[in-house]
Amino acid sequence: MEYELTVIIPVFNEADNLERVKKEMSIFLNAAKKKSKVLFINDGSKDSSLSVIQEICKDNDEFTYISFDRNYGLSSAIKAGFDYTNTRWVGYIDADLQTSPMDFNILLDYADQYQLVTGVRANRKDSIVKNLSSKIANGIRRAFTHDGMDDTGCPLKIIQTDYAKKIPMFKGLHRFLPAMILLQNGKVIQHPVQHFERIAGKSKFHLWNRLFGPLSDCFAFVWMKKKYINYKVAEKKV
């Protein structure tokens, strides 16, 4: 049976989390509604993340990885995941495991009918400042994009790969994935998923890149929306 879903996991200095990631992802792989595999994207980690990833992937076909030559950021890691995916669907989850891989099975129920299915973090276990800044950032983004999504920062998504590969990624665009699917005339839907406290490692986000950074990215999206090329082939002989 061929793989149907590739779950990409961007990694930047998450060595303390990776054994738990292997355990939780293995549980999901055994219970997945569609045959799935894992693709780690090592985003230039400075700790021992790469060596841990290499050990996890050793003699295990369900776990694969690519490693950058330096740190490029989350959007670049997600784009690389899209570029190297060869399955019908591509999923995304963060290495901090503040969301559960098992909730991919909830999203998979909608994967045939929608080109993007995203989680919405229910009962978030983050700080008041983090929750408030995220809520404000989501409100600003919705005002610019009209994508109807409540929580695009939720690190649990499934996208039809042919749509994901057409997304013109730039830094910060990971917040606009639903909007970019809508630009392709695709359909998007959101569904509540579990959320947990971070157990190990440190968050890579702070007030600036959670609030002020996304505001500037909104203007980049508006420019891109005006320039975006979308077409549908009516007939071909190639």
Please tell me the predicted confidence (pLDDT) of residue 184. 93
Phi, psi values for residue 68, rounded to 5°? -75, 160
For residue 204, being part of any structural domain is answered with: yes
Tens-place pLDDT, residues 152-177: 778 899 999 999 999 987 777 778 89
Q: Is there a domain that residue 233 lies in?
A: no
Residue 132 lies in a domain: yes
Q: Is residue 237 part of a domain?
A: no
* Residue 111 burial (C-beta neighbours within 10 Å; 0-12, 13-18, 19+): buried
Residue 131 lies in a domain: yes
Q: Give dist(CA 179, CA 177) in Å, integer.
A: 5
* Complete edge-to-edge strand list for the sheet that includes strand 36-42: 63-67, 36-42, 5-11, 89-93, 156-160, 116-121, 188-193
pLDDT of residue 44: 97
Q: Does residue 232 form part of some domain?
A: no
What range defines the domain where residue 59 resides? 5-227
**Beta carbons within 8 Å of 59's beta carbon, 6+ residues apart:** none
We report the CATH number of the domain holding residue 198 as 3.90.550.10
Total domain count, the chain: 1
Please tell me the predicted confidence (pLDDT) of residue 202.
64
Contact by Cβ (8 Å): 193, 106: yes
Q: Please indicate, yes or no, if residue 203 is contained in any of the structural domains.
A: yes
Q: Is residue 236 part of a domain?
A: no
Note the helical H segments in the chain. 18-31, 49-57, 74-84, 104-108, 128-145, 161-164, 177-183, 207, 213-227
Could you give the CA distance from residue 65 to residue 95 in angstroms, rounded to a whole number?
13
- The three-state secondary structure class of 186 is coil
Residue type for position 115: Q
In the prediction, which pLDDT does 211 show? 58
Can you list the residues of the chain whose pLDDT is less than 50? none
Q: 98: which 2 tokens?
A: 């503040």
